[in-house]
Amino acid sequence: MSGRPPAYDYVKDPGEIYRRSFSIVRGEAALAHLPAALHSAAVRIVHACGDPSVTRHLAWSEGVEQAVANALRAGAPVFTDVRMVAEGIIASRLPAGNEIRCTLNEPGVRDLAAKLGTTRSAAAAELWRDGLDGAVVVIGNAPTALFHLLEMIGAGGPRPAAILGFPVGFVGAAESKEALAENPFAIPFLALRGRLGGSAIAAAALNALAAGLPEEEIA
């Protein structure tokens, strides 16, 4: 390659990037149908996936944002189905130094999955039992983990304070989130109906419910 290296005109200031991004999201995404307390979560979800239309597919129970906030302030742990969700959660913004736990790669999970005849993700949810009561669960990948969690609760298992359900994919993802939305346990939830979801969206939702959108205030 000869000559001058390419020079691109783009925004470099992180504060300006965030401000512009969230301004664009608020201008393009449908938010009016959502409770005001969920606007920050919706904005972060759109920011995470780049698609303003996803807000039309959100499903929630009344007071889910308060349930998450109360649980986190009380020191509740956060359980995730995959490391990508755990890594996406901004730990410094959790109000009580809350533990973030992903049990997917713990010893014995593979053998437990074989014993139960299910996926590792579902088997890993079995290891949440001791700390699940009053916890916040954030699922961003595995429909089987969400289904198994609901089955555990239905069988009399511990009840988390709230479930954020964002499994992604073509087999079971939409169905698992419908099961969450229709759960008879009165457990507060936030979910994205259909096939869309993923770890980035799940982590974004928890980050917003934990700390709002402080990036919009960057000077």
Residue 87 and residue 205 in contact, taking contact as beta carbons nearer than 8 Å: no
Q: Tell me, what amino acid is at 27? A: G
Angle at 94 between CA 91 and CA 95, to 5 degrees: 145
Residue 43 Cα to chain centre, angstroms: 13
121 neighbors 36 (Cβ within 8 angstroms): no
Question: 11 vs 17, 143, 148, CA distance in Å?
Answer: 7, 38, 44
In the chain, where do the E strands start and end? Answer: 58-60, 78-80, 100-102, 136-139, 162-165, 189-192
Q: Which of 191, 206, 187, 180 has the alpha carbon at shortest distance from 100?
A: 206
User: Which residues have a catalytic role annotated?
Assistant: 47
Contact between 152 and 23 (Cβ < 8 Å): no
